[in-house]
Amino acid sequence: MKDHVRKYGPAAIGGRLRRLSESIDEDARRIYAEFGVSFEQRWVGVLYELVQDGPLSVGELAARLGITHVSVSQTRQSLERAGIITAEVDSSDARRRQLKLTVSGAKLVRQLKPLWQALDRAAVELNNEAQDVISALDRLDDALARRSQFDRIRDQLKQT
Amino acid sequence: MKDHVRKYGPAAIGGRLRRLSESIDEDARRIYAEFGVSFEQRWVGVLYELVQDGPLSVGELAARLGITHVSVSQTRQSLERAGIITAEVDSSDARRRQLKLTVSGAKLVRQLKPLWQALDRAAVELNNEAQDVISALDRLDDALARRSQFDRIRDQLKQT
DNA sequence: GAATAATATGTAGGCACCTACATATATGCA
DNA sequence: TGCATATATGTAGGTGCCTACATATTATTC
């Protein structure tokens, strides 16, 4: 089945990246469910950063995680509903929200520590077995940072 | 910004795969928009297969593309609404739908041919510049096929 | 001080998939 | 032939992001 997709070569790179991420996300989801925890994958990065250096603003988290502020904003809303964090207006800048762990949030994080360690180790094992996919992703990131796919495609169109 | 994400190493592989795919998809979307075509990325694989070997059933397309039948089913609905394909009940098996290009669908495909060629070439260029990401994805696919991330994580938990 | 520009975060809608569950049809076996 | 099983496709809801647009606040300039 998967072998059929390989015939497309680089043309299918976007789809293949997505499907791999779906697969890895789904497996993580199953593990949380088996651990008896209601948890959203997108919470991990936010929680990790808040544990390390909280409180942090929406924008700071977005920068640290390499995602848009909108994603962080949406994630913080679900985290608040779950009682894991609070998001209070910054006292020195009313535009800004300071996100920090609640007591029960910190408790959840402690509870999840062994699971996160297992997730980390499994990821390292997978990366090693696949002969350093992460470095390949770094290279892809760098190539896209140098020149967007939009510009590349447009230039190829001009040469047609 | 992106450099911050790299500190997570393999632990962030799922998220990184997803974000790269979003980035590549978004750039393709912009190109279709600039080409003056209303087009959904998910249509490409279906159309490509129908051009090659149509008519095909939902299940056959799913197998060829390496995605679920549900995704194909949903994609075929949007393709039908756009008048690009028809999906008629197979005369020899009433469970099955035969998907094929309409006349205007075939015309759209012809119109898009140069764009698809440009997309292909840009993808090859990107893959070369990133020193063969596709092979890395092949290896990742193979590693996950050998052993799921779910099983890997669970085993790591047992060793804690 | 007022106007303009920059900054922080939010809402709305969309994307391309996924799993769980459901229904209809075809096949195989006793 | 009837029933159990397998197969094909569909509906419903969800995932974790994204862009476009919006609003409020702060900073800068004149």
Please give the structure tokens belonging to residue A69: 């502020």
Which residues in chain B come in under a pLDDT of 50?
A: 1-2
Q: What would the pLDDT profile of A30-55 be if each residue is shown by its tens digit?
A: 999 999 999 999 999 999 999 999 99
Which bases of chain D are under 7 A from a protein CB atom?
A: 7-12, 15-20, 24-27
Cβ pair A153, B116 in contact under 8 A = no
pLDDT at B3 (0 to 100)? 54
Question: Domain locations in chain B?
Answer: 1-34
pLDDT for res B7: 82
Q: Which residues pair with B57 in a beta bridge?
A: B98
**Which of B157, B158, B160 to mutate to probe the A interface, most A CBs <10 Å?**
B157
Q: What is the DSSP string of A47-96?
A: HHHHHHH-SEEHHHHHHHHTS-HHHHHHHHHHHHHTTSEEEEEPTT-TT-
**CA at A90, C1' at D26: how many angstroms apart?**
13
pLDDT tens column, A90-148? 999 999 999 999 999 999 999 999 999 999 999 999 999 999 999 999 999 999 999 99
CB pairs under 8 A between A and B: 242
Interface confidence (ipTM) of the complex: 0.90
A7 — pLDDT class (breaks 50, 70, 90): confident
Interchain contact, B28 vs A18, CB within 8 Å: no
Task: Read off the pLDDT of residues B2-18 as tens digits, 9 standing for 90 and up.
Answer: 456 788 888 889 999 99
Mind listing the pLDDT tens digit for each residue in B50-79? Answer: 999 999 999 999 999 999 999 999 999 999
Q: CA B101 to CA B83: how far, in whole Å? A: 9
Mutation to test the B interface, candidates A6, A112, A133, A155, most B Cβ within 10 Å? A133
Return the pLDDT at B24: 95
Chain B partners of A114 at a C-beta cutoff of 8 Å? 157, 160
Task: Judge: A139–B130 Cβ closer than 8 Å, yes or no.
Answer: yes
pLDDT of A10: 87
